[in-house]
Amino acid sequence: MKQIHDIEIEKLFHDLAHKEWACSAKVFPLEFCHHLAEKALDLQREGLFRAAAIGRGASKSHNPSIRGDVTLWIEEESASLLLIEWREQLELMRTLLNQSFYLGLKSFETHFAIYPPQAEYQKHIDNHRGSNARAITFILYLNDHWKKGDGGELSLFDPRDQKTLMTQIEPHLGTFVLFRSEVFPHQVEKNFQQRLSLTGWFRTDSQ
């Protein structure tokens, strides 16, 4: 089944071309997002999430005061039809991004993330220029009933001045964000309710 909304994708890509980031609440149907949120909670109940790491290779470590979420990678051989569907949507988006931007995106990786109350993810860049193959970051938020004061906003900072806040995005169910991974310093503000999302990266290598 095709879930992506074509006209919304055009708008999203238009913004991405002009601003290097884009956000829309209309790319994926809310019902699909609801199912994904339920899936995250089922998998959480099964105890499958693990503390998220920072850094790579030898410098890989865990530090909940810098990054407090737990994650679960969604692999190609996932047993769940819903998660296969999520990967198919991302594969379609990868193709569309390549057609529009000639980015040479060869693959993607994606995980669920759960931020427990009081968790945050301090300011970072997902990919330092030349250091690895993450080209575009994407996030789909899965929080029904999110309200002001719950925290957990995604803050994007000005690439020319890391101290200047550029925009904040609230993690409402169905809100989808794309940004160039090597461009934007960003952080997840401390949240006061459990915060669910699907995060990932389109990559220029085949992993």
Q: Does residue 110 bind ligand OGA (CB under 6 A)?
A: no
Rule CB under 5 A: choose which of 120, 126, 150, 189 binds Ni ion: 126
Nearer to Ni ion, 126 or 182 (CB): 126
Cβ 202 to ligand OGA, closest distance in Å? 14
| Binds 90: which of ligand OGA, Ni ion, none (CB < 5-8 Å by kind) | none
Residue 28 CA to residue 126 CA, distance in Å, equals 24
139 binds ligand OGA (CB under 6 A): yes
**Among ligand OGA, Ni ion, none, partner that 139 touches (CB below 5 to 8 angstroms by kind):** ligand OGA
Does 69 participate in binding Ni ion (rule CB under 5 A)?
no
DSSP result, the chain? -----HHHHHHHHHHHHHHSEEEESSSS-HHHHHHHHHHHHHHHHTT--EEPPBS-GGG-B--TTTB--EEEE--TT-S-HHHHHHHHHHHHHHHHHHHHH-----EEEEEEEEE-TT--EEEE-S--TTTS-EEEEEEEE-BTT--TTSB-PEEEEETTEEEEEEEEE--BTT-EEEEETTT--EEEPPBSS-EEEEEEEEESS--
**126, 150, 182, 189: which one binds ligand OGA (CB under 6 A):** 126
154 is a contact residue toward ligand OGA (CB under 6 A): yes
Q: Does residue 140 interact with ligand OGA by CB under 6 A? A: no
101: which 2 tokens? 């931007």
Size of the site for Ni ion (CB under 5 A): 1
189 touches Ni ion by CB under 5 A? no
Which residues, 6 or more positions from 34, have their beta carbon under 8 angstroms from its beta carbon? 144, 173
Residue 83: both structure tokens together: 């998660």
CB of 72 to ligand OGA, least distance (A): 13
> Closest separation between CB of residue 137 and Ni ion, Å?
6
Q: Does 120 bind Ni ion (CB under 5 A)?
A: no
Q: Which is nearer to Ni ion, 126 or 189 (CB)?
A: 126
> Does 186 help bind ligand OGA (rule: CB under 6 A)?
yes
> Interface with ligand OGA by CB under 6 A: which residues?
113, 121, 126, 139, 154, 186, 188, 197, 199
